[in-house]
């Protein structure tokens, strides 16, 4: 990793939760590693009027209290916050952008930070159009400026197209960074190296050898303080349309022509465009939605989703989704991709499982049911990779058992994995858009999920309730069981029969 050019990072909505929990801690980590530009300033802007110096002092205390900065780093933290300034500013007031331009020029002249400016939209999405218009009208959206946009990127295909058109009216696509922190995780990026740098995997990475792929992101927390947002989003919009579909593209894409951003993002968009559309019958057959109920979870009494703040008592919003989808191209035709995501589940875990087809009957029977080659890519909590395969149990008979080879990134000496936000902010400052969503991919994702959401809205049924601390609704568990049953190796008796028939 190298230092980007000198520049100013301007954070809109800097007095909000995202800046406090993610952005400033991520920038501090870059500061500790010596990866920030040589001449650099963070200009935090927000509506809240805060006395000079108070913003920095408050954020320093919060980062120390939350553990985002160790006590022994207090001196370094104070040094970092000398790079941070706060400017009270109403982003909805078109007349205020002249004052913002003046403040940026003042910071630039004092710091020598150069002409580049990176704008980070950490505000609610409803504020995006006014901010983009203000930046354009004030001349701040110049050729040396770029913009980072937080998800959600629209709420459906139409709104995504409108947002993309708005962004493109002020910034070219290569200077628009739609950030999804999942793509900043080291293990996600490593999928491409794992696949395309190892000849033991790529030749068998297709429908002839892979039976199914599972992508799961489970959370133990509820919606917390985001009830109002979740009522308009739900798990499909919040997780499937972006996080899980993007993970799928890394698993399913073709080898890019080169490692440039355009080449990699071309292949990601192609995968999304090949997703098989679902009609009403397919939605009924291949999707399960659930909503968490209240109860004891980990020894703590938890509220049901409908009892969370800012949630309607009769809400039909899903907090869990299980789904089976297909990619209709030559490599993946007929291979089901299973997606599972939800809140208030038994464990916090993100994982991709590639399930390979069974061995021929003679040997598949030796392994017993449920034994088969599986490659697991664990994204969290412990980033790593596990490969499961069969080996003979010591002794005279040909009895086999399943074993695994496991790799954990923590085993790499003297390597600290960068926080996803740190990595992505650094990439944006460097102008590298490889790990950011492109407009055509965003729209392809919405094109796939819109009919599913529309069918759910028309349906008289509500999401199935599931207990907090469980694996999700019964219907979803059954989908997993059916998938597992169809993936079982042949029982030993059937394998022997097949073998004898073959000999006859």
Tokens 């890519």 correspond to: 377
SS3 assignment for 95-107: HHHHHHHHHHHHH
Angle, in degrees to the nearest 10, between helices 261-273 and 245-252: 110
Is residue 209 among the annotated active site residues?
no
Contacts of 340 (CB under 8 A, 6+ apart): 214, 215, 216, 217, 218, 321, 322, 472, 476, 480
DSSP code per residue over 66-79: HTSS-GGGHHHHHH
Contact 172, 144 (CB under 8 A): no
Tokens of 71: 């006590």
Asked if residue 120 lies in contact with residue 145, where contact means CB atoms within 8 angstroms, the answer is no
Query: Any idea which residue has 């919040």 for tokens?
Result: 238
**Residue of 209, 243, 455, 483 marked active site:** 243
Strand arrangement of the beta sheet that strand 320-326 belongs to: 400-408, 384-392, 374-380, 349-356, 210-218, 336-342, 320-326, 287-293, 464-467
Please state, in angstroms and rounded to a whole number, the distance separating the CA atoms of residues 73 and 61.
12
Establish how many alpha carbons lie within 13 A of residue 40's alpha carbon, considering only the half-sphere containing its beta carbon: 22
Please state whether 457 falls in left (phi above 0), alpha (psi between -120 and 50) or beta. alpha
410-417 own/partner pairs: CB under 8 Å, 24+ apart: 410/382, 410/383, 410/384, 417/186, 417/383
Contacts of residue 452, Cβ cutoff 8 Å, sequence gap at least 6: 236, 278, 283, 287, 323
Between helix 157-170 and helix 128-137 the angle, nearest 10°, is 20
Catalytic sites, residue numbers: 243
């Amino acid at each position: 990793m190298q230092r980007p050019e000198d520049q100013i990072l301007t954070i809109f909505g800097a007095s909000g939760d995202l800046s406090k929990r993610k952005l400033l801690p991520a920038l501090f980590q870059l500061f500790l590693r010596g990866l920030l530009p040589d001449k650099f300033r963070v200009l935090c802007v927000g509506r809240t009027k805060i006395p000079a110096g108070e913003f920095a002092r408050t954020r320093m205390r919060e980062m120390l209290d939350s553990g985002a900065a160790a006590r022994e780093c207090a001196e370094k933290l104070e040094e970092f916050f000398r790079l941070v300034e706060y400017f009270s500013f109403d982003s909805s007031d078109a007349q205020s952008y002249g004052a913002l331009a003046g403040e940026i020029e003042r910071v630039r002249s004092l710091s020598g930070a150069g002409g580049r400016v990176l704008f980070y939209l950490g505000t609610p999405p409803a504020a995006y159009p006014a901010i983009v218009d203000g930046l354009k009208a004030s001349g701040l959206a110049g050729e040396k400026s770029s913009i980072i946009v937080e998800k959600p990127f629209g709420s459906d295909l139409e709104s995504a197209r409108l947002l993309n058109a708005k962004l493109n009216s002020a910034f070219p696509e290569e200077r628009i960074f739609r950030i999804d922190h999942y793509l900043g995780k080291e293990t996600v990026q490593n999928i491409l190296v794992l696949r395309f740098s190892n000849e033991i995997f790529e030749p068998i990475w297709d429908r002839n050898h892979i039976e199914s792929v599972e992508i799961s992101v489970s959370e133990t927390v509820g919606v917390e303080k985001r009830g109002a947002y979740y009522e308009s989003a739900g798990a499909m919009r919040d997780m499937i349309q972006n996080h899980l579909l993007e993970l799928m593209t890394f698993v399913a894409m073709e080898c890019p022509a080169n490692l440039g951003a355009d080449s990699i993002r071309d292949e990601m968009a192609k995968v999304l465009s090949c997703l098989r559309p679902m009609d009403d019958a397919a939605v009924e057959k291949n999707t399960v939605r659930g909503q968490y109920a209240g109860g004891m979870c980990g020894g703590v009494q938890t509220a049901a989703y409908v009892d969370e703040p800012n949630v309607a008592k009769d809400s039909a919003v899903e907090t869990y989704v299980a789904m089976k989808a297909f990619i209709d191209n030559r490599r993946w035709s007929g291979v089901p991709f299973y997606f599972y995501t939800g809140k208030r589940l038994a464990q916090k875990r993100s994982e991709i499982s590639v399930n390979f087809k069974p061995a021929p009957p003679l040997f598949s029977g030796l392994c017993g049911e449920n034994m088969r080659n599986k490659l697991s890519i664990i994204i969290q909590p412990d980033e790593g990779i596990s490969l499961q395969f069969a080996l003979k149990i010591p002794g005279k008979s040909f009895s086999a058992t399943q074993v695994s080879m496991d790799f954990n990134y923590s085993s790499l000496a003297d390597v600290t994995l960068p926080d996803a936000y740190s990595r992505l902010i650094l990439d944006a400052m460097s102008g590298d858009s490889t790990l950011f969503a492109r407009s055509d991919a965003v729209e392809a994702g919405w094109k796939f999920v819109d009919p599913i959401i529309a069918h759910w809205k028309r349906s008289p049924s509500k999401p199935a309730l599931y207990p907090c601390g469980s694996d999700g609704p019964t219907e979803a568990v059954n989908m997993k069981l059916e998938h597992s049953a169809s993936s079982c190796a042949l029982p030993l008796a059937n394998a022997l029969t097949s073998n004898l028939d073959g000999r006859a």
